[in-house]
Structure 1
Amino acid sequence: MKKFINKVEDVEEEMTEGLAKAYPDQLEKLDYGTIICRKNKKANDKVALVSGGGSGHEPAHAGFVGEGMLDAAVAGTVYTSPTPDAILEGIHAVKTDAGVLLVVKNYTGDVMNFELAEEMANDEGIKTVHVVSNDDVAVENSSFTVGRRGVAGTLFIHKCAGAKAEAGGTLEEVQAVAQKVIDNVRSMGAAIKPCTVPAAGKPGFELAEDEMEVGIGIHGEPGVHREKIKTANETADILLDKILADIDYTGHEVALMVNGSGATPLMELYIINNHVQDVLKSKGIKVYRTFVGNYMTSIDMAGFSLSLLRLDDELKTLLDAKADTPAWKEFGC
C-alpha cells in the first residue's frame, strides 16, 4: 500500500484537523471526535442540518459544511458509520430552536446510528427529524443496505434542504424539500480500479486490466455485473439507461452531476459529460445545471457516477441559492 499517511489509526483525526485548519474562517473541529461544524453558527430561528458517515468520501461530507448547506458533518472511521454519541455531539453543537434535520445515506449502520442519535436528541427536547437518501438504482439490496444505497445524489439534498433552511423554512418544510429531492434523484456508478482502505492495506477487490464493475457502491460493494471494459460513451449509456428507466425525466429540466470516485482524471469526467449532455438533449431532457468533479468519492477508486435530479421551480430556486462551503460555492464545485 502506498499512501501519504502517518499512522493508520490517525487518518480520520488528522484529516479533519487539516480540513479545519485549511478553512479557519468557515469551519471548526470539535474537541470530541471527528466532527466539523460551521464556525459562524446559524441563527436560532433557522433549522440546522447535520449529515455524515464513514470517512473516505471526501469532500463529502465535511467539505459541504457552510452557508447554505450543512451545519455539521460527523465522520466515522473509513467506511464505518459514526457512533450515536458522536452524532449527538454534532447535534448539540449546531442545534437551534427551529430544530435539526439529519440527512442519512441508506446504509444499515448509518440509519441505525443516526436514528438512535435522533431519539436521544428528542428525549433531550431537541426537535430532530431525519430523511434517508437512496438514490442508487444499481441494486435494491446489498450487504450494506436494506433497499437502495445512498450515493452522490445525496449532495443535492444537502444543497436544496440547506437553502430552504437558510431561507427560514420550518423543520417540516425543510424535511419536505429533502424528501422531494430524494423522490426525484437517481444515480448509478461504474469503476475500473478498486479502492484501498488504509486499515486493510490492500484493494477491497480485484479487477483484471480489461474489466470494469458496473453499478459499484461507494464502499467498493459489488454492482450489477462485471464485464469487459467499454468506451466512455458506452459505459455512460449503460448507467444512463438504468437511471432514465427508473424515473420519467422526459420534458423536464434536470441537474446533472458527473461525480468522480477519487482517482478519475477530470479529462475523463468531461469526456463522459460530453456524451451524457448529447444523449439527454436527444431525449428532450434539458440540463439546467451541470456539476462535474469529485463530490462523493471512494478514496482512490477509479470510476464515476451519474446523478440526475428532476427539477421543478422550487428546486431550481434552491439549487441556485447562495452556498459557500469549501467544496461547493454558489455555482458548484
Structure 2
Amino acid sequence: MTISVAVVGTGRMGRLHAKQLQDVPDVRIVGAADVRAEAVEEFTAEFGGTGSVDYRELLDRTRPDVAYFCTPASEHLDQLTFAAERGINVFVEKPLAPSVTTATAAADVIERHGVLCTVGYQWRYSPLTDVARDALAGLPPTMLAGWWYWTIPPLPWIRDRRTGGGQIFEQATHLIDLMRFLAGDVSTVFAAYADNAIPEEELPNWDASAVTLGFANGAAGSVHSTYALFPGIPGSNGVDVAAREVLVRVNLAKATVFRRGVPPVETSARADWNIDQEFMAIVRRNDPAAVRATARESAQSIGVSLAANYSAVTNRVVDLLDFMTNPPDDATIMPL
C-alpha cells in the first residue's frame, strides 16, 4: 500500500512534515498548494508532486489519502470541511481553530464524515509521554507545571496577538494539551498576562503569561511562558507532573523520573521518531482508536488557551464548561 499525501501550506511546518514523510517508505507526496506560486514551485521541485495555488483544485485533482494542512488556524475549518466531505484523511497543524465555536464545528465535521484526523500535538504521541504515563502508573497527579521560555516569533502572523492569538494559544497550547492528556479535563482557568519587556511596535503581543489551572480531578496546574528571552536556554520548555512519591519531567527531548532514595531515571528521545511516522501508521491500519490528538480533544485544549486569554483580559476566574458552552465572541481573546 502506498499512502498519497498532499501538503497545503508550504512554509516552515509544511516543509518539515514533507521532509519527515520522505523517510516513510510507503508514503508519496503527490502535490502541494500555497497561495504563493513561487513557494509551490520550490516545494514540488524538492519533494515532488504537482502544484496549485488553490488547495481545492489540488485535492479534487489528486484525491490523496491524506491532506496535511499547515496553514493559519483561521483557515482550518473550511479546509478540513472540504477534505472531509471528499473522504480525505487529515493532519492539521495546531491550533485547530481560532475560536471555540469554529474548533467545535471542525470536530463535528470530522466526526460526521468519519475520516481519520489528528492535530499536530506531537507531545501526545511521543514515546517519552508514554514513559511519563508509565511512571505515574495510575497514581492521580496532584500538581502539574508547564513552562516555555522563548523569543519573539519569526513569523509576522504569529508575532501579532490579533492574528496569532498569543503565546498561550499558539505555542504553550502544547503544554496545556499534554497536561490534559496526563491529568484529564480542566475545570477552571485564571490568568495574568504582561507586556513589560518588549515595546508594542516590536511585539504587538503579550510578552509573558502566567496561567493557573484547576483540573476536574482536583489537581492544580500552572503554565508560565514568555517571548522576552532567546533561543538556546537549556530546558526552555517542559511539563512537571507530581504524584505521591514521584515527579516526572518531560518534553520532546527527554523524560526524567524522580523517586525517593534512588537516582533519577532519564530517557532520551529517539533521533528517528516523529509524529508523521505515527500518523502514517494509523492511516495504514485505518485505526481511529489510535488517534490521540483528535479534533474533539484539540478543541478542548484550545478552549483552555482562549479561556486563559479571556481571564487575563477580564481579570476573572473562568469556568471552562460554561466557557465552552457559551463562548464569548470577543476579538481581544482570539485571532481575527
- Same fold at TM > 0.5: no
User: What is the TM-score when the length of structure 2 is the normalising length?
Assistant: 0.33
Q: Quick check: which has more Rg, 1 or 2?
A: 2
Greater fraction helix:
2
User: What is the TM-score when the length of structure 1 is the normalising length?
Assistant: 0.33
